[in-house]
Amino acid sequence: MKKISSKVCTGVMVQDIRPLIHEIRGQAVMLDRDLAAVYQVMTGRLNEAVKRNLARFPAEFMFQLSESEMDELIANCDRFKTMKHSPSRMYAFTEQGVAMLSAVLKSDIAVRESVRIMKAFVAMRKALAGIQPLVMRIETIERRQITDQSRNEARFDEIFRKMGEGEVPNCQIFYQNRFWDAKSLLVKIIRRAKKELVVVDAYPGVATLDILAKRGRGVKVELITHSNGELEESDFEAFGKQCGKFTKSICGICHDRFIIIDNVEIYAIGASLKDAGRLTFGISKMGDSVIPGLLANLRNATSARKEYAK
């Protein structure tokens, strides 16, 4: 189709109306430039006729495009490139507005072309009605997939949690260079937590955070330590952003390492989590009666506390 001047449109016949119908603000509309081309008048004359009859064009019949709508239209439609630096903004006419235009323009061409435009609007509505069941079906499938994905993630979490709840010995010795065995048991202990996990370790490292990252979904973590150890503050911030809510408490009175699960289980760890397996050490389960006193003692001596989260 030939490009139509925005000023003079007389003598040009627009064969196909449908490409001239746009969806703007959730409505099917035609623009003043395109209507002028169809009606074979100048855009200025069309808009003057509208201004003389503004009472016939309420908001549901016609509206002026915003600057952002103009920019989007120019970016998506090559035939509007000449409007890029124009100070004027186009007007959009709904189906009712187009019908009213034929009355105010008072020409045989306007009446004839309005009929064609009405037919184009009707055809578009029928086409949309025809694909609506397909659209609804696709949306239903997408919602089902999202739901299924959430269910699958929950199933995987349950599987991993059950794996973590596997048999954990009350006491075990690891000899030097048993890195993998030591880490596997620590992860299994970590995964037993369903709500809350407290780790007491004076010298944290990257391996410490790596083990804590293996906890179950939604489990809150508090690391009680002397200092940042070999880690930077940015490491804790990155861990919180990626792995969720995480608290670091600074407390300098504890020598041994402990893992406390949901305030009902406690394990004494003979080595820092980051060094587990490097030298001979032991892991022992203790009686849960010591938990309240230990936590109270540590938290009373806490000098600083910081939370990190997504």
Per-residue pLDDT at 279 exceeds 50: yes
CA-CA distance, 166 to 160, in Å (whole number)?
Answer: 10
- What is the tens place of the pLDDT at every residue in 171-196? 888 888 888 888 888 988 998 999 99
Mean pLDDT score, 86-112: 83
- What is the tens place of the pLDDT at every residue in 225-251? 988 888 888 888 888 888 888 889 998
Question: Which pair of tokens denotes residue 113?
Answer: 């072309």
pLDDT band at 139 (very low <50, low <70, confident <90, very high): low
CA-CA distance, 283 to 268, in Å (whole number)?
Answer: 6
B/e letters for 13-44, b = 16+ CB within 10 Å, e = fewer, are ebeebeebbbebeeebbbbbbbbbbbbbbbbe
Question: Which pair of tokens denotes residue 31?
Answer: 């623009």
Highest mean pLDDT out of 120-124, 155-159, 267-271, 305-309: 267-271
pLDDT band at 146 (very low <50, low <70, confident <90, very high): low
Residues 6+ apart with CB under 8 A from 55: none
CA angle 78, 82, 87 (to 5 degrees): 130
What pLDDT is attached to residue 226? 87
Question: Which pair of tokens denotes residue 243?
Answer: 């792995």
State the burial class of residue 155 (Cβ atoms within 10 Å of its Cβ: 0-12, 13-18, 19+).
exposed
279 pairs with which residues across the strands?
Answer: 276
Per-residue pLDDT at 207 exceeds 70: yes
Mean pLDDT score, 145-166: 55
pLDDT band at 133 (very low <50, low <70, confident <90, very high): low
| Contact yes or no for 93/120 (Cβ under 8 A) | no
User: Can you give the C-alpha Rg of the chain in angstroms?
Assistant: 35
What pLDDT is attached to residue 258? 94
CA-CA distance, 100 to 13, in Å (whole number)?
Answer: 21
Mean pLDDT score, 248-267: 90
The DSSP annotation for 166-194 comes to: S---SEEEE-TT-HHHHHHHHHHHHTT-S
pLDDT > 70: percent of the chain: 80
What pLDDT is attached to residue 161? 53
The reported pTM is 0.47
- Who has greater pLDDT, 10 or 147? 147
Domains along the chain with CATH numbers:
18-133 (3.10.260), 168-308 (3.30.870.10)
Mean pLDDT of the chain: 80
Per-residue pLDDT at 6 exceeds 50: no
CA-CA distance, 230 to 248, in Å (whole number)?
Answer: 14
CA-CA distance, 10 to 36, in Å (whole number)?
Answer: 9
For residue 218, count other CB atoms closer than 10 A to its CB: 10
